[in-house]
Structure 1
Amino acid sequence: MTLFTIDEVRKTFKNGEVEEEILKGINLSLKEGEITALVGASGSGKSTLLTIAAGLQPATDGQVFFEEQNLTTMSTEQVRKLRASKFGFVFQFAHLVPFLTVEEQLLLMLDVAESRLKKYEQQHEVNHLLQLIGMAHRKTAYPSSLSGGEKQRVAIARAIIHQPKVLFADEPTASLDSQRSKEIMLLLRELTKTLKITTLMVTHDEEMLAYADRIIKMSDGLVLPNAMY
């Protein structure tokens, strides 16, 4: 089932008196339970496309639909609430809160998402997810005592604890070594399939493409012909 549709999206930035078109009319649909990877050289527009799809910045032109809701016509507050409840985010660095334990990181996300779960239900969800990602034994640990791979596992758990429909991942393995990168991608794929999350991922690491269901190559603000498979 198609969950997300990007329709003729364009993005222009002003550089002094010169306008630079970063995205030049992108059309894309995302299906439930699939990992779609955006690849391309630096400056190709892939990260800009991800942030527009996620409602983190507006498009100059075009429309973005999520479950038939038009993000383009929503107010800033409506988009914020949608992001908090339906979207999850994983970035190159984990950005964990240094003074919160692993368990507290996840409970905080449930608060941000305005979860309707009762406290004991929230605790159950946290324990279950930490078990899934192999971090149950580290739930009282602080970020300073975690390895890079462990931090990214927690970041992924935090991104999906509120059961979002869409996960946006921008270079999620770029700060990790090869072995840790493979472990994180295996986890990301397993969780995407198990929880039926739609994942849009930006990566420059071709080894990570083996874990994607679909690969889209971009260059100079365009999807390359015959580059969607």
Structure 2
Amino acid sequence: MSIFTLKNVRKTFYNGEIKEEILKGIDLTLKEGEITALVGPSGSGKSTLLTIAAGLQPATDGKVMLGMKNMISMNSEQIRKIRANKFGFVFQFAHLVPFLTVEEQLLLMLDVSESKLKKHEQKIEINKMLKMVEMDHRRNAYPSSLSGGEKQRVAIARGIIHKPKILFADEPTASLDSKRSKDVMSLIRHLARTLNIATLLVTHDEEMLTYADRIVKMSDGKIIGAV
């Protein structure tokens, strides 16, 4: 089922009097439970497209539809609430809060997303999530004692603990070795399917494309193919 749609999305910058069109009419649909991988050379517009889809910067024109709601017509507070409640994020680096334990990282995300769960319900959800990412035995550990792969597992758990509709994964394996990269992508695919989360993945690693349901190729601000 389609849950997120970009229609004729354009992004233009002005360098003095010179107009630079970074995105040139992008159409893209994300479906529940599927991973869509966005690939292309540096400068093709992948990162710009992801940040617009995620509500981190506005499009110049077009529509960004979450269900029946167009994010482009929303104000900054409405977009902030969508990012906090409907979106999840995983980046190249885990960006964990150094003075919080693994469990506290997830609890903070529930607070940020304004979860309506009661305290004991939050505890239950955190326990479930830590078991899903195989980090329940490290719940009281601080980031400084975690390996790179463990940090990324915690980052994934934090990104989906609030049950987002969309997960944005920007180079989530770029800082990991081959084995850990495969482990992380297997986990993302498992969670996307299990929790029915639509996932937009940006990656330069061709090996990670085997975990995607669909591959969308970009070049010079356009989508040039999808498989």
Same fold (TM over 0.5): yes
1:16 offset after TM fit, Å?
2.9
Q: Tell me which residue corresponds to 1:130.
A: 130
Structure 2: unaligned runs, 5 residues or longer: none
1:17 deviates by: 2.8
Mapped to 1, the partners of 2:14 and 2:95 lie a distance apart of 30
Cα displacement string for residues 124-168 of structure 1 (whole angstroms, at most 9, x for unaligned residues): 110111011110010000000001110000000000000001000
Question: C-alpha separation between the residues in 1 aligned to 2:194 and 2:115?
Answer: 21
Give the match's secondary structure for 2:141: coil
Letter of the aligned partner of 1:223 in structure 2? I
Q: Amino acid of the residue matched to residue 151 of structure 2?
A: K
Counterpart residue number, 1:87 = 87
Partner residue, 2:226: 228
**Distance (Å, rounded) in 2 between the aligned partners of 1:197 and 1:81:** 18
Give, as a single letter, the amino acid of the residue that structure 1 aligns with 2:69. Q
Q: Which residue of 1 aligns with 2:51?
A: 51
SS in 2 for 1:56: coil
Write the distance in 1 (CA, Å) between the matches of 2:14 and 2:75: 24
Q: Aligned pair count?
A: 227
Correspondences of 1:31-42 after superposition (within 5 Å): 31-42=31-42
Output the CA distance in 2 between the equivalents of 1:113 and 1:100. 17
- Please state how far the C-alpha of 1:12 moved relative to its aligned partner: 1.0
Q: Distance in 2 between matches of 1:15 and 1:202?
A: 26
The one-letter code sitting in structure 2 at the alignment partner of 1:193 is: R
Supply the distance in 1 between the matched residues of 2:172 and 2:41 (Cα, whole angstroms).
17
2:92 & 2:153 partners in 1: Cα distance? 12
1:27 is displaced (CA, Å) by 0.5
Shift of 1:18: 1.7
State the TM-score, normalized to the length of structure 1.
Answer: 0.98
Q: Whole-Å Cα distance in 1 between the matches of residues 226 and 86 of structure 2?
A: 26
**RMSD, aligned CA:** 0.6
Alignment of 1:55-66 (within 5 A): 55-66=55-66
| 2:108 corresponds to | 108
Report SS of the residue matched to 1:108: helix
Give aligned-pair identity as a percent: 73
